Amino acid sequence: MKAKMSKLKDGLSVVVIAKNEENILNRTLRHITGIADEIVFIDTGSHDNTVEIAGKFRCRTFEFQWCDDFSKAKNFGVEQARYKWILNIDCDEVLYDKNAKLLIEKACRINNKPAYIIWQDNLYDNGGVGQVKVMRLFRNDPGIRFRNHVHESICESVYRNWPGYKPEVVDIHLRHYGHLSFNATGKHERNIGILRKWIESDPDNIYANYKLAMTLFETGRIEESLPQFEKTFDVISEVKDKNTYPFIGDFMNFYYRILVDSGFAEKACGLRGIVEAWV
């Protein structure tokens, strides 16, 4: 590990994983060629023109055998990176800030920061845009690796190895098309399958239960999501340090809304009292 770190070059590696993304890949790669010193492209089994498109943009392309685990694929990509900083981008995202290169270079010159937050602008079919903060820009360090089978993130490893760290925001934006119906076809069912498999092996994993409940809700499967929300609430209730899970507030807001809309307003009010006691 130390040998590899000593050989890293100053600059930025952008890591992208893909499978059969020929319809959207040109747009994604075109917007990152100007900021990246290299694009590490991990193909997980495409049988369309995805790999050929990556070659057109001079990506360093590697094959990875898909195993229903996005983190393993992303971590494989990180291990191929040759530069000191890494930006994680998905195929259904576009980095569209004109000043992105300057802002990233400025952030990467600071030696004591392990990672930064940037903005993800989620586009929806009704024309709405939902902005969320995502930790995507990080140092190429063996202490930083992705976790979670799906909805992979480096947050856990960053907070574990840099306790108390409060990441700053670099004001660049990823335009995310993944929630639009034309782009989401099949992906929700894929994610539900991965999440169910994950929960089978780790029944009390809070994040897996939370994301399964939310995905069922977002795909309109309200009745099916109710027992999953209830299970997630039960798992959260058993955790002592609830501040470790920043999504709990959003989860409770959704759960409360579903209960009220489903005719369980009295139960929803009771839950609010329990949650207030957590704080």
**CA–CA distance from 109 to each of 84, 118, 212, 259 (Å)?**
10, 17, 39, 48
pLDDT digits (tens, 9 = 90+) for 100-153: 999 999 999 988 999 999 999 989 888 889 888 889 999 999 999 999 999 899
- The pLDDT assigned to 147 comes to 92
What residues contact residue 252 under an 8 Å CB cut-off, 6+ apart?
233, 271, 275
What residues does 153 pair with on adjacent strands? 147
- The pLDDT assigned to 250 comes to 76
Q: What would you measure as the largest C-alpha separation in the chain, in angstroms?
A: 61
Q: Are 140 and 83 within 8 A, CB to CB?
A: yes
Q: Where are the beta strands (DSSP E) in the chain?
A: 9-18, 38-43, 60-63, 83-88, 93-95, 115-123, 129-139, 169-176
pLDDT (tens place) for every residue of the chain, 279 residues total:
444 666 999 999 999 999 999 999 999 999 999 999 999 999 999 999 999 999 999 999 999 999 999 999 999 999 999 999 999 999 999 998 889 999 999 999 988 999 999 999 989 888 889 888 889 999 999 999 999 999 899 988 998 899 888 889 999 999 999 888 777 667 888 899 999 999 999 999 988 999 899 889 878 888 899 999 999 999 999 887 776 676 777 788 889 888 998 899 999 888 877 877 775
- The pLDDT assigned to 225 comes to 92
Distance from the first to the final alpha carbon of the chain: 41
Domain-wise residue ranges, the chain: 2-179, 186-278
How many angstroms separate the CA atoms of 6 and 249, rounded? 41
- The pLDDT assigned to 76 comes to 99
- The pLDDT assigned to 187 comes to 81
State the CATH class of domain 2-179: alpha beta
- The pLDDT assigned to 219 comes to 82
**In what side-by-side order are the strands of the sheet with 93-95?**
60-63, 38-43, 9-18, 83-88, 129-139, 115-123, 169-176, 93-95
Question: Which pTM was predicted?
Answer: 0.81
CATH topology for the 186-278 domain: 1.25.40
How many angstroms separate the CA atoms of 100 and 156, rounded? 26
Determine phi and psi for 14, rounding to 5 degrees: -100, 125
- The pLDDT assigned to 3 comes to 47
**CA–CA distance from 161 to each of 57, 65, 115, 155, 158 (Å)?**
35, 29, 12, 10, 5
How many angstroms separate the CA atoms of 105 and 174, rounded? 17
